[in-house]
Amino acid sequence: MVGPQLHSIRGLVHVTPLELDLDLEKGSFFGRFEWRNSFEAQVYLQHHDISKDPVCWSQLGYASGYTTYFVGRPIIYKEVACVGCGHAHCEIVGKPAEEWEDHAEMERMLPRDSLAEELFALQSQVSELQETIKAGKRDAISNSVGRSRAFREACQLIHRAAASKANVLLSGETGAGKEVFARGLHAASPRADQPFVAVNCASIPPDLIEAELFGVEKGAYTGATVSRPGKFERANQGTIFLDEVVELSPRAQASLLRVLQEGELERVGGTQVHKINVRIVAASNEDLKQAVANGKFRADLYYRLNVYPVHIPPLRERTEDIPLLTEHFVSKYNTLYNKRTSGVSDKAMRALMHYQWPGNIRELENMIERGVILTDSNQMIDEHALFPSLTEPGGMKAIDPTGHLHASATQTADPGHDELCEQLLAEGFSLDQLEARLIRTALAKAEGNITHAARLLSITRPQLAYRLDKLKGLK
């Protein structure tokens, strides 16, 4: 009965079982269900007249797929009554595929796994093209919110780069808006009517990054049941945005260098060379030059990417943009949550202006969203709705008349007097040895699982792998 409940919980349709005969050992099945308030039928009737044939095809697909998996043999549902055809409610009947007279035709309509994967890939391409079309209808940079000098200088650099073919390297802290600038660059370039594909390199496991970026051939590894293009092929003739590029594995860095130098790539497990014409916009919140010095990033790749560097300023360097951004986000989330909040109070705005914004614009947006949720319509968002730590034990306690945030006594204590640190310094400890002990302890706690150990240390898996390589040199 979980299947009908899932249909109802997801808001697809309210299901009432009318008849159910199930024997898993024999593989026999017959089910008849009543559907009421089918969203698919309602949507159809909003745009069309009464249909001659049933219209709830996607819900039939859900029911057929779920029951097939549960019973262990192909089960096909048909709609014997449908609101889209003028009936009072919908009704479906399900039984084994071979018990339907037209079962051969029905089975041909159900895609197999490999075809389903191809359809998902095509759907992904369509979504990317739709995003490109939306970006092309508006210049993301011109419509961005800001008037500060630092912001305008960054915009000017992006506009000058747009007409060229040069690769662009965006640097800046997390949440500063690097992807917004990348989309603006693409929208203002001659490639605006071609795909824009964004990839966060840090979110893809190192052993899958090459397949995601450069594609994979069927049979390249277990589970590769169909050949599929990678992000670069999907971005052909357009722009690809590589965020957190410093997290690329060494092999992926070498493959990326080949794309930059030769304009060609090979899919994982393939031998055919694919010519590619893609503009690369890379971004990192780490210092790539320092990553090169540490051996984490290839020097030749860095120089290829660093043709046209642009620094995106952090929010604390463009505080005059905070009121504009605040107004923009308040309007956005008032619409999203059907609210009519009256903006931000003067005291709350002073607090926003004096806050240091470690999370930059992303943090501001999240803070405003929380403030809109917590504030009643026709009321102003106050500082307590924006800064929950003001009312939390051990958090910020007050805001002075200038808007500065005052911390508790424990937070304002002199950071130079730390008992643990003073003890370590008195013992003449080694920073490298302390780091090594922390890493070994985390690995032991994680039972050798590097990914789990990285989580315990609050760093990424590639960062931990780099530190482990460094530890080998200390032995």
pLDDT in tens, 148-162: 888 889 888 998 999
Q: What pLDDT, on the 0 to 100 scale, is given for residue 401?
A: 47
Model confidence at 47: pLDDT above 50: yes
Provide the CATH number for the domain formed by 316-412 in this structure.
1.10.8.60
Stretch(es) of the chain classified as CATH 3.40.50.300:
116-311
Q: What pLDDT, on the 0 to 100 scale, is given for residue 271?
A: 79
Q: What are the tokens at 24?
A: 């898993």
**Element spanning 454, H or E:** helix 450-456
Q: What pLDDT, on the 0 to 100 scale, is given for residue 230?
A: 87
Q: What pLDDT, on the 0 to 100 scale, is given for residue 200?
A: 92
Model confidence at 144: pLDDT above 60: yes
Q: What pLDDT, on the 0 to 100 scale, is given for residue 308?
A: 93
Instruction: Please indicate whether residue 459 or residue 291 has the higher confidence score (pLDDT).
Output: 291
Q: What pLDDT, on the 0 to 100 scale, is given for residue 241?
A: 95
Stretch(es) of the chain classified as CATH 1.10.10:
425-474
CB 158 within 8 A of CB 281: no
Residue 395's pLDDT band (cuts 50, 70, 90): very low
Cα gap 78→408, rounded to integer Å: 66
Residue 10's pLDDT band (cuts 50, 70, 90): confident
Cα gap 439→454, rounded to integer Å: 9
CB 31 within 8 A of CB 21: yes
CB 174 within 8 A of CB 360: yes
Cα gap 343→328, rounded to integer Å: 10
Instruction: Please indicate whether residue 91 or residue 23 has the higher confidence score (pLDDT).
Output: 91
- Tell me, which fold does domain 116-311 have in CATH? Rossmann fold (3.40.50)
CB 331 within 8 A of CB 366: no
CB 379 within 8 A of CB 341: yes
Model confidence at 398: pLDDT above 90: no
Q: Which CATH number fits domain 425-474: 3.40.140, 3.40.50, 1.20.120, 1.10.10?
A: 1.10.10
What percentage of the chain exceeds 70 in pLDDT? 84
10 DSSP 8-state letter: T
Stretch(es) of the chain classified as CATH 1.10.8.60:
316-412
Q: What's the rounded mean pLDDT across residues 398-421?
A: 54
Residue 67, Cβ density class (10 Å: 0-12 exposed, 13-18 middle, ≥19 buried): buried
Q: What pLDDT, on the 0 to 100 scale, is given for residue 124?
A: 61
Q: What's the rounded mean pLDDT across residues 15-42?
A: 89
Model confidence at 305: pLDDT above 60: yes
Residue 198's contacts (CB-CB under 8 Å, 6 or more residues apart) are 179, 182, 183, 240, 241, 243
- pLDDT per residue as tens digits for the range 170-224: 998 988 889 989 999 999 999 999 999 999 998 888 888 888 898 888 876 666 6
* Average pLDDT along the chain: 82
* SS3 at position 470: helix
Q: What's the rounded mean pLDDT across residues 68-94?
A: 90
Identify the weakest region by mean pLDDT among 94-108, 321-335, 356-370, 461-475. Answer: 461-475
